[in-house]
């Protein structure tokens, strides 16, 4: 796998596939940033703004949905033990 971009744009909804996707591999750092922010108790609105590049004031439903789906995907990837192992396996 090539190095993932440091701050890639995100889709409105994260993948929901049963295996890691190319999108997941491109967003490893995004997922890690989301998990770190949650662990630090960061407000979802600030995380959506900084990490996902979405404005929760202008598009609250879109920003919240993107935040929740990407955080869920990050948790799935790490709970399954796939995020870090999958990111370096190619």
Q: What is the mean pLDDT of each run of 10 residues along the chain (90 residues)?
A: 74 93 91 96 98 97 98 91 53
**What pLDDT, on a 0 to 100 scale, did the predictor assign at position 81?**
60
**Hey, what are 3's tokens?**
């190095």
pTM of the model: 0.85
Other beta carbons less than 10 A from residue 71's beta carbon:
20
**What pLDDT, on a 0 to 100 scale, did the predictor assign at position 25?**
87
**What pLDDT, on a 0 to 100 scale, did the predictor assign at position 88?**
44
- Asked if residues 77 and 86 have their Cβ atoms less than 8 Å apart, the reply is yes
């Amino acid at each position: 796998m090539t190095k993932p971009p440091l701050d890639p744009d995100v889709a409105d909804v994260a993948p929901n596939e049963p295996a890691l996707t190319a999108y997941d591999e491109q967003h490893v750092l995004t997922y890690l940033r989301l998990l770190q922010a949650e662990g630090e108790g960061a407000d979802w609105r600030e995380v959506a703004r900084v990490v996902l590049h979405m404005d929760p004031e202008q598009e609250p439903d879109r920003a919240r949905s993107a935040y929740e789906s990407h955080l869920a995907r990050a948790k799935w990837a790490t709970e399954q033990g796939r995020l870090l192992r999958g990111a370096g396996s190619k």
